[in-house]
């Protein structure tokens, strides 16, 4: 019986094969997950319906299962209409999730097109597609290493 909150068998299998520096994308409902992923990345679709499941729900489950060294968000281009609104509200939720897991990691935005390039890396092992409707809700996690 698993002791962490992540029980999805395919996600657990991918994470079990992954290691330090592996990348995990938690994609919002707008992300083109079928075309923007690394050559070694499994795709798990959890987009049941609009709003289900959310990126934050997946983040909490993943944080219970694997160590994370870095968290990247998709940065909003300055010329995008959404850039005028400031930081997306969902980022505050991610910070709360990280803090609740005992992590003091900052969210590090990567510009939109560089984010797509980072996801195309051979180190990208998993994309979890959600039905999250939050704008700019994508997260790219870098796995850490297990310590005693």
CB hemisphere CA count around 90 (13 angstroms): 18
Give the tens place of pLDDT for each residue, 7-52. 999 999 999 999 999 999 999 999 999 999 999 999 999 999 999 9
Structure confidence at residue 148 (pLDDT)? 66
Is residue 3 situated within a structural domain?
no
Structure confidence at residue 61 (pLDDT)? 98
Is residue 118 situated within a structural domain?
yes
Is residue 117 situated within a structural domain?
yes
Give the tens place of pLDDT for each residue, 107-128. 999 999 999 999 999 999 999 9
- Pairing label, strands 42-45, 124-129: parallel
Is residue 4 situated within a structural domain?
no
Structure confidence at residue 10 (pLDDT)? 97
* Residue-range definition of the domain harbouring residue 81: 9-143
For the chain, give the percent of residues with pLDDT over 70.
99
Quick count: other Cβ atoms within 10 Å of Cβ 144?
Answer: 17
Does 95 or 2 have the greater pLDDT score? 95
* Cβ pair 129, 33 in contact under 8 A: yes
Per-residue pLDDT at 94 exceeds 80:
yes
Structure confidence at residue 45 (pLDDT)? 97
Per-residue pLDDT at 2 exceeds 90:
no
Is residue 13 situated within a structural domain?
yes
Is residue 2 situated within a structural domain?
no
Structure confidence at residue 146 (pLDDT)? 80
Is residue 148 situated within a structural domain?
no
Domain count, the chain: 1
Q: CB-based burial of residue 6 (10 Å sphere; 0-12 exposed, 13-18 middle, 19+ buried)?
A: middle
Is residue 42 situated within a structural domain?
yes
Structure confidence at residue 41 (pLDDT)? 98
Structure confidence at residue 62 (pLDDT)? 98
Please report, for the domain that includes residue 95, its CATH number.
Answer: 3.40.1650.10
Per-residue pLDDT at 86 exceeds 90:
no
Structure confidence at residue 1 (pLDDT)? 61
């Amino acid at each position: 019986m698993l002791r962490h909150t992540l029980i999805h068998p395919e996600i657990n299998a991918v994470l079990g094969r992954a290691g330090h520096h592996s990348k995990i994308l938690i994609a919002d409902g707008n992300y083109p997950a079928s075309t923007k992923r690394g050559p070694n990345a499994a795709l798990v679709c959890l987009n049941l319906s609009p709003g289900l499941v959310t990126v934050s729900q997946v983040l909490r489950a993943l944080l219970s299962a694997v160590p994370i060294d870095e968290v990247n968000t998709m940065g909003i281009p300055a010329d995008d209409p959404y850039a005028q609104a400031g930081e997306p509200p969902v980022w505050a939720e991610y910070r709360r999730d990280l803090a609740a897991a005992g992590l003091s990691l900052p969210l590090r935005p990567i510009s939109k097109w560089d984010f797509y390039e980072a996801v195309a890396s051979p180190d990208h092992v998993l994309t979890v597609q959600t039905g999250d409707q939050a704008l700019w809700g994508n997260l790219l996690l870098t796995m850490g290493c297990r310590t005693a």
